[in-house]
Chain A
Amino acid sequence: MSSAQTKTEHGHTDHNYLNHGSGIWSWMTTLDHKRIGLMYFATVSTLFLIGGFFALGIRLHLAKFGATPLLEPDTYNKFMTFHGAIMVFMVIIPGIPAFLGNFVLPIQLGAKDVAFPRLNLASYYIFIAGAAIAASSMIFNQVDTGWTFYTPYSTAKTSNGVILLVLGAFTMGFSSILTGLNFIVTTHKLRAPGMTMDRIPLMIWALYSTSIIQILATPILAITLLLIGAEKTLGVGIFDPDLGGDPVLFQHFFWFYSHPAVYIMILPAMGVISELITAFSKKTIFGYRAIAYSSVAIAAVSFLVWGHHMFVSGQSTLAGLVFSIITMFVGVPTAIKLFNWISTMYRGTVTFEAPMLFALGFMFLFTIGGLTGVFLASTGMDVHFHDTYFVVAHFHYVMVGGTLMALMGGIFYWFPKMFGKMTSDLGGRISWVLIFTGFNVTFFPQFVLGAMGMPRRYFDYLPEYTNLNQISTVGSWLIGLGFLVGLITIIHGILKGEKASDNPWGAKTLEWQTSSPPPHENFTTTPTVTAGPYDFR
């Protein structure tokens, strides 16, 4: 067992990071990564509620109950845009790295804080500024382009609100880059004695790979977004064919960021899952190296597949085929991870507390999301499915079924560490049942709708699509209810939860060796690491 000696000393200290300094100001100026993590938690949850409101609006409209439509076409398009932009740029991308990552990364490494605590706080405020700029477009000048901002629609045919939204995303990009930088340096420089690179937890490998993508890909998005602004205000003519530009060029730029970005969303989730599966199977992770290196492999290859979003854009047939084959290569490390997690359970001793249920839900939904990705990666098949509800279902299965399930699992898992209290396990389980069921009821029918030919981003549809859309809407309310129960469980845990022990799940990584909640600088004595992270012997 690694560094067990730090454990006992903490039983009697009441001094922890939550009561280290009090008052709102001590939070707003804190340099403690744990507090910054919790501030991201609060922010991202709020944004998630707003994004969720738009989602329920979209689904309610598409259920077409009654003769008059719920939303005007333009309002619908704006709902669709804000839902996508908020969920992608402000919830799923920052969710795990900025919130859970900030909280656990330094503790798991046995560090006192991240390498650059001030930069960490600055990243948070940059994020807030970006979110505020983006949100102001909701009030002043709404946008209806969809979160992908395709030109020339975004530059030539719609309101100037795009500039605000794009500027907001641009600003948030800096936050993302700085957090990534901070994590990379922290991982290299601040590991506790004995914490070699092959002893760092898989969560950290995942965050590390993610950080590489964040640093390399985000600048591309930033430049692209600036170009949209320049095109719109100055008419520079890069994307607008009327000015001699090429509209498809934008798609290349956009996906060159946004494809790797889908891995910014999913790799940290895979990190969380690796932690949960081993902790709740009470067994060493199977194939540590395979999981660690496949994260890095995914990060690398993810830069070479962007063109699979453009099989029918008019790019050459050859380009389509090259992107198709490379995309197939990404599927392999993804499959490897699933096999490893499953093998970890083999001959383990598995328990089913709420965090584990979310991890299992992840595996179930992510398998479906990944397999349907193969349908889309196959050129001849994608020509039919591209821009239909099949794609909508695919990416919700990976992003919501995958990333959000992992986020929920991670919250319930690390909650005792964060607040020193337990959440109600029953509350967590009820929340899980509702989200998991609701999710499948919402999104599985969308695969069928896509096969039947229903395009995405449709305000209205043919009568034969009605039933499946209504089923989907019912599901969305179950999901909403599930998150509501989750929220209540979390708030109840914070206010009334039972006191948590230092290591309620019996896990082996370092964060469980310090007190719950940890002291201001994480450990009272620097831990020494003598074995791998999951040494359940």
Chain B
Amino acid sequence: MSWSSLIPATSFMPIQATEIAKEVDLLYAFLIIASLVSFVILVGGMTWFLIKFKRTSLDQKSAYITHNNFAEFLWSFIPLIIMMGIFYWGMVIFEKLRTPPEDIAAEIHVTAEQWAWTYRYANGKEFYSSANDPMIVPAGKATKLVLTSKDVIHSFFVPAFRTKQDAVPGKLTQLWFEPKQPGEYIVFCTEYCGTKHSGMMIKIKAIPSEEYAAWYHAEKKGADSPADLGKTLFAQKACASCHSIDGSRIVGPTMKGLFGSGRKFADGSQTKADENYLRESILVSSAKIVEGYPPAMPVFQGQLSDEDVANLIEYIKSIK
């Protein structure tokens, strides 16, 4: 829209490195214009009355006006309509920010801790980084991050992408973005996390997707991929005694095609099997019992590390 370009203030925003950033900035421009207009009406009106109705002599009388229903209705109703519009506009953007697209080109497990980030790729490449090792992602393709934390709450904020998400210990949260151009973008931690909160910065380096593919398949840092490690663990912990991987029904639900499928529970509720659901089911399966199955699975809380769980999840995801 053309009027958005009238607002130099949007230039205070960081570069627009994603399509969504543009949409956010359009809403921002609208909000600035709407606010300026409201400000002028309110403070302008006030100033005008102050000048016009300034007391000039001692015996001056004020008018006696107590209320005016029509005016009061208007100035309640009009703001309400505008605010509902702003709510709706914000909602449309929010849902885009929250819903990763189907085709994800890179999926990275990000673990925050005081005061660094670790990122692990599906093939086992792993980086522990405070500032120097950028997070490599493909440009022009969608990347999804699965976030968690080892100690306190941190938050992953990429100003150029207009997105952020808290990394919460004991939980998995997610974030996605699609940088349009190759380039380097800064990442801040925005949830206060102690002494070096402000030093917890990294960079995201978006590189052309062919280059990314080459980088991704070049020598690995880790020996085995998380899915491989998960497979070993699956055998060690005797998960297979209750869960098949070929779709057949034994004591518990099969792992085949589980990830992303809809789950229905004994108490009638439903959810989609995402990372967080898998995590919870592995650690404390009694939290949600799938309809038609006995609550027979042992509690693994305290027996599996965060990393073990992440590996198991990767393995389960791979059983298509």
Q: Do A and B come from one complex?
A: yes
Q: How far is the CB of B96 from chain A (nearest CB, A)?
A: 8
Q: Please name the residue on chain B nearest to A327 by beta carbon.
A: B87
Docked-complex contact B197 and A386, CB < 8 angstroms: no
Interface size on A, as a range, is: 35 or more
Residues 412-450 of chain A, each 1 if its beta carbon lies under 8 Å from chain B, else 0:
000000000000000000000000000000000000100
Q: List 5 A-B contacts (CB under 8 A).
A: A153-B192, A248-B168, A328-B86, A343-B65, A455-B188
Residues 1-43 (chain B) with a chain A CB within 8 angstroms: 9, 12-14, 23-24, 27-28, 31, 35, 38-39, 42-43
- Cβ contact within 8 Å between B42 and A367: yes
**A268→B261 CA distance, assembly (Å):** 52
Given A73-B196, A331-B79, A384–B90 Cβ distance below 8 Å? no
- The verdict on A388 contacting chain B, using a C-beta distance below 8 Å, is yes
A-chain residues with CB within 8 Å of residue B67 when the two chains form the complex = 286-290
Query: With A284-B66, A332-B83, A347-B65 known to touch, is A324 a contact of B90 (CB < 8 Å)?
Result: yes
A348 to B27, CA, bound (A): 39
Assess whether B79 is in contact with A335, with CB atoms less than 8 Å apart. Answer: yes
A338→B62 contact, CB < 8 A: no
Asked if B262 CB lies within 8 Å of chain A CBs, one says no
> Would you give the shortest CB distance from B39 to chain A, in whole angstroms?
6
Indicate if the CB atoms of B72 and A381 lie closer than 8 Å.
no
CA of A317 to CA of B75, assembled, Å: 31
B192 touches A332 (CB 8 A): no
Report how far A367 CA is from B46 CA in the complex, Å.
11
- Chain A residue nearest to B160 (CB atoms) is A453
CB proximity of B121 to chain A, nearest CB, Å: 23
Binds B, one of A162-170, A211-219, A370-378: A370-378
Q: How far is the CB of B66 from chain A (nearest CB, A)?
A: 6
Any chain A CB within 8 A of the CB of B218? no
CB < 8 Å neighbour of A455 from B79, B196, B198: B198
**Contacting residues, chain B, for A342 (C-beta < 8 A):** 42, 45-46, 49
Residues of B contacting A349 in the complex (Cβ-Cβ under 8 angstroms): 53-56, 60-62
A458 contacts the other chain (CB 8 A) = yes
Q: Which residues of B contact A505 (CB under 8 A)?
A: none
B63 contacts chain A at the CB level, 8 A cutoff: yes
Task: Tell me if B84 and A328 are in contact (CB < 8 A).
Answer: yes
Whether A312 contacts B166 by the Cβ 8 Å rule is yes
Contact (A350, B171) CB under 8 Å given A153-B193, A284-B66, A451-B12? no
Binding site for B on A (CB under 8 A): 73-74, 77, 144-146, 150, 152-153, 156-158, 241-242, 244-248, 281-284, 286-290, 311-314, 317, 320-321, 324-325, 328-329, 331-332, 335-336, 338-340, 342-343, 345-352, 360, 363-364, 367-368, 371-372, 374-375, 377-384, 386-388, 448, 451-453, 455-462, 536-537
Chain A residues within 8 Å of B247, by CB? none
Q: Are B55 and A379 in contact, with the CB atoms below 8 A?
A: no
Contact between A453 and B14, CB atoms less than 8 A apart: yes
Give Cα A346 to B195, complex, Å.
53
Within 8 Å by CB of B65, from A144, A247, A284, A458, lies A284
A331 to B86, CA, bound (A): 12
| 9 more A-B residue pairs beyond the given contacts A73-B195, A281-B53, A289-B67, with a C-beta to C-beta distance below 8 A | A156-B151, A286-B66, A314-B168, A335-B76, A348-B49, A377-B90, A451-B28, A453-B157, A461-B198
Q: Write the chain A residue with the least CB distance to B92.
A: A380
**Residue-by-residue, is B44-58 near A (CB-CB < 8 Å gives 1, otherwise 0)?**
011001100111100
Q: Known contacts A246-B170, A363-B46, A379-B93: does B164 contact A386 (CB below 8 Å)? A: yes
Complex: A146 Cα to B198 Cα, angstroms: 14
Name the contact of A74 in the complex, choosing from B79, B98, B114, B195 (C-beta under 8 A).
B195
* Residue B120 at the chain A interface, CB threshold 8 Å: no
**Bound CA span A242–B152, Å:** 11
Q: Are A374 and B49 interface neighbours, CB within 8 A?
A: no
A457 near B192 with CB under 8 A, answer yes
Q: How distant is B86 from chain A, measured CB to nearest CB, in Å?
A: 5
Q: Cα distance A383–B54 when bound, in Å?
A: 44
Cβ-based interface call for B165 (8 A): yes
Q: A150-B191, A314-B168, A345-B49 are in contact. Are A281 and B83 (CB under 8 A)?
A: no
For residue B111, CB closer than 8 A to chain A, the reply is: no
Q: Is B266 an interface residue, CB under 8 A from the partner?
A: no
User: In the complex the two chains form, what is the Cα distance from A146 to B165 in whole Å?
Assistant: 20
Produce 1/0 per residue, B66-78, CB < 8 A to A. 1110011001100
Complex Cα–Cα for A537 and B62 (A):
7
- Interchain nearest-CB distance for B278 vs A (Å): 16
On whether the beta carbons of B65 and A286 are closer than 8 Å, the reply is yes
How far, in angstroms, from A332 to B84 measured CA to CA in the complex? 11
Choose among B38, B50, B96 the residue that contacts A350 (Cβ–Cβ < 8 A).
B50
B251 adjacent to chain A (CB < 8 Å): no
Question: Within 8 Å CB of A77, what residues of B?
Answer: 194-195, 197
Q: Which residue of A313, A331, A374 contacts B166 across the interface (Cβ within 8 Å)?
A: A313
Residues from chain A with a CB closer than 8 A to the CB of B76 are 332, 335-336
Contact of A374 among B31, B55, B93 (CB under 8 A): B31
Chain B residue numbers with a CB within 8 Å of A290 are 67, 72
Given A314-B166, A360-B46, residue A384 in contact with residue B24 (CB < 8 A): yes
**Contact among B50, B191, B196 for A360, CB-based, below 8 A:** B50
A199 smallest CB distance to B (angstroms): 13
Minimal Cβ-Cβ distance residue in A for B96:
A380
Contact B53–A386 (Cβ < 8 Å): no
Contact status B62-A453, CB under 8 Å: no
Query: How far is A474 from B203 in the complex, measured between Cα atoms in Å?
Result: 32
Query: Is the Cβ of A328 less than 8 Å from the Cβ of B87?
Result: yes
Interchain CA distance A321-B8 in the complex, whole Å? 30
Give the Cβ gap from B179 to chain A, nearest Cβ, in Å: 16
Knowing A284-B65, A455-B157, the reply to whether A345 touches B50 (Cβ < 8 A) is yes
Which single member of B27, B63, B84, B196 contacts A347 (CB below 8 Å)? B63
